Amino acid sequence: MQQPNDDRFRHRDLNWLSFNERVLQEASDKINPLYERIKFLAIFSSNLDEYFRVRVSQLRQMKRVKKSIRKKLALRPTKLTKQIIEEVKAQQDRFGEIYHKQILPELAENNIQVLDAEHFDNNHKEFAESFFKNKVEKNLKPIVLDLKKENELFLENSVLYFLITFEDENKLAVVNIPVNECGRFVQLDNNQRGHDITYLDEIIRHEASCIFPEAEITGIYEIKLSRDAELYIDDIYEGVLAEKIYSSLKQRTDGQPTRLLYDASMPKPVQKKIRKLLNLGKIDMMPGGQYHNFKDFFSFPDPSNNEKLHFKELPPLPHKVLSKSDDYFKDIAKKDQALHFPYMSFSYVENFVKMAAEDEHVTDINISLYRVADESDLTNSLMKALENGKRVTVFVEAKARFDEKNNISWGRKFEEKGANVIYSYPKVKVHSKIMLVCRQEGDVNMRYAYIGTGNFNAETSRIYCDHAIFTADKNITKELQRLFKVLEGELLIPREKNLLISPFSTRQEFIKLIYNEIENARAGKKARITAKMNSLEDKEMIELLYKASNAGVKIRMLIRGFTCLIPGIKGMSENIYITSVVDRFLEHGRIYLFENDGEELMFYGSADWMSRNLDRRIEVVSPVLDKDIKKEFKDILEIQLNDNVKARIQDAEESNRYVQKEKENKSIRSQYEIYNYLKEKHSS
């Protein structure tokens, strides 16, 4: 974990919380329909869960590293964890205020009541009793603990439980809340008086005496334990230093607890008991509200079927060439073709793979899969290609966090069908989004490439903003073919001149491009850098951007997530201005534009300016060579730079202020403007 100097760099983990604050802002922004604001609460909660499982878990691991190594690295995990906990508590207070003072009253205005057990009427109670007996009870696994004896208590990661206290203070019970089996929300029978909804939690709370009929219950408190995800320390430290850190960890236990979220009304003596049972420190205890796992609000029902409570549907736009094409190879050979998700359908990618699988002239299909969908037309077409005798090489990333099981499962399926499947290397992830198809056309072996910023995943393509280009450019496809040979172990380096490929050339080429702008600025020539990415963390790149700013290069950045760069500081970064767009879709594309004294150079691809993307992952960043596509990308970028509805300023104070619209200017909500722009361009 990078431990920067506070004067010149922000800490990535603290600034990430600033990003999640922007998500929380969306939950209270009444521009968004009610049910979409509920989803933003779910996104905030889901983000925070992953943050504790990965980032905070890593801090805990660092606390076990020998003090001599921690001192060398300037690691202060305890202090940082306390800062994180303080900010998270403040955000959770705001979360609770939004939920109770905005969301619940507005649901009620739409005749949707969210009831707790105390407000059940006789009809509700009768329904709750029946639902409990018929569906819930059989899925409960109550555990009774005698505190006078030694106890071992294991709570599963992110599973909801009730901690139940009794009149006998030497007894505690833990009862699971079976969300997977019963759903989180239950619609109650209310004799047609509107729509009454309750939590599954409240059904169990109401029927708790049936679970423990012979005991006097004195308290019921919801708890949830977060456990760490698999940590890839090599992603953070490399080489000998990583080995030292590994050796300094006496014993690494997968699934170490990182946070116990508990009902803040739980008495302190009970808190102490559960903390002891789970062997947690005080810093691991996080007070919360009556309910946890707000990520379940992704499935919050809308019994009203009121369209006004949801985003208006944006049907996928037709691509002006591919939508009419019955031969993608012919049209791509004529001219590069660009796609933009989710504005356009992922089916264009699926159609291309299907055509390749069925085309008698196609000999080879090579593809890298980072996050594989459970099942899709794309994976089915790859299977069909194997049945049709094509040589299929699939690079499967086995270390895509939280997707490992599914990725490896698909890898085995491909292997069984005869594919050449390559799994990721121990210290290198393949994060690039690339595909190469070889086709015998007469005496010529033609190559067709797809390079994108997003995963080959139809589901995520509906909510992630990404860009991709199909090309038959000989230089690009030749270099991509070399990269696949590197992945297969046939070559050591891809020897690229056009593509930027990590860890071989991306850093060096970006450094050259930035120095070129510095030299142009000093010579009085046109100099500007415009960059859109997910996150900015790499110290060398940030120092170079500071240098460019001091040389007079105007730097405009769009960074959705965290940034360790501090903008707008006189004498350091006064020429750097950063905004972040958080809206209906997740901004995921990376575009880099360099003024180059009026001869603009544009690149796009899978790599952020993070150390792992530049040095420890296989990433592909491609130049945008087609003039029409270059203009299209630039137009889209300009729209995002001018967003004055959903853009937040990333300033030195981390204020997350919305960009203010000037009175004479029109409102620009970039994601909707881009949709309209592409609609007009691709319908003409």
pLDDT digits (tens, 9 = 90+) for 559-605: 999 999 999 999 999 999 999 999 999 999 999 999 999 999 999 99
pLDDT greater than 80 at residue 60? no
pLDDT greater than 60 at residue 394? yes
The per-residue pLDDT for 655 is 93
Last residue of a domain, one of 478, 497, 516: 497
The per-residue pLDDT for 437 is 98
Residue 454 lies in a domain: yes
The answer to the question of whether 577 is labelled as a binding residue is no
Tokens 């031969």, located at residue: 327
Q: Are residues 294 and 400 in the same domain?
A: no
pLDDT tens-digit map of 513-565: 999 999 999 999 999 999 999 999 999 999 999 999 999 999 999 999 999 99
The per-residue pLDDT for 191 is 63
Tell me how far apart the alpha carbons of residues 614 and 607 are, in angstroms, rounded to a whole number.
7
Q: Are residues 258 and 362 in the same domain?
A: no
pLDDT greater than 80 at residue 5? no
The answer to the question of whether 412 is labelled as a binding residue is no
CATH code: domain of residue 132 = 3.30.1840.10
Q: Are residues 427 and 481 in the same domain?
A: yes
Q: Are residues 296 and 348 in the same domain?
A: no
What is the total count of domains within the chain? 3
Residue 226 lies in domain: 12-302
Catalytic annotation, residues: 431
Q: Are residues 424 and 335 in the same domain?
A: yes
Residue 369 lies in a domain: yes
Contact 533, 497 (CB under 8 A): no
The answer to the question of whether 464 is labelled as a binding residue is yes
Query: Helix-strand-coil percent breakdown of the chain, rounded to 5?
Result: 40, 25, 35
Last residue of a domain, one of 497, 514, 539: 497
Last residue of a domain, one of 471, 497, 523: 497
The per-residue pLDDT for 318 is 97
Q: Are residues 199 and 275 in the same domain?
A: yes
Residue 314 lies in a domain: no
Q: Are residues 404 and 483 in the same domain?
A: yes
Q: Give the list of residues 6+ apart from residue 331 with CB closer than 8 angstroms, or none.
A: 321, 322, 325, 337
pLDDT tens-digit map of 110-152: 999 999 999 999 999 999 999 999 999 999 999 999 998 888 8
The answer to the question of whether 124 is labelled as a binding residue is no
CATH code: domain of residue 672 = 3.30.870.10
Q: Are residues 159 and 218 in the same domain?
A: yes
The answer to the question of whether 391 is labelled as a binding residue is no
Q: Are residues 385 and 263 in the same domain?
A: no
By residue count, the chain amounts to: 684
Classify burial at 666, counting beta carbons within 10 Å of its beta carbon; exposed 0-12, middle 13-18, buried 19 or more: exposed
Residue 64 lies in a domain: yes
The per-residue pLDDT for 426 is 57
pLDDT greater than 50 at residue 248? no
Q: Are residues 117 and 213 in the same domain?
A: yes
The per-residue pLDDT for 90 is 93
pLDDT-based confidence at residue 253 (cuts at 50, 70, 90): very low
Q: Give the list of residues 6+ apart from residue 151 with CB closer than 8 angstroms, or none.
A: 145, 277
The answer to the question of whether 47 is labelled as a binding residue is yes
pLDDT tens-digit map of 440-477: 999 999 999 999 999 999 999 999 999 999 999 999 99
Residue 334 lies in a domain: yes
pLDDT tens-digit map of 144-192: 999 988 888 889 888 999 999 999 999 999 999 999 999 999 999 766 6
Highest mean pLDDT among 6-15, 46-55, 131-140, 413-422: 131-140
Mean pLDDT, residues 629-635: 98
Mean pLDDT, residues 263-274: 94
Tell how far CA 7 is from the center of its chain. 29
pLDDT tens-digit map of 643-684: 999 999 999 999 999 999 887 789 999 999 999 999 999 986
Residue 246 lies in a domain: yes
Mean pLDDT, residues 225-237: 57
The per-residue pLDDT for 236 is 44
Residue 114 lies in a domain: yes
Q: Are residues 276 and 383 in the same domain?
A: no
pLDDT greater than 90 at residue 56? no
Residue 599 lies in a domain: yes
User: For a pLDDT cut of 70, what percent of the chain falls above it?
Assistant: 89
Q: Are residues 590 and 672 in the same domain?
A: yes
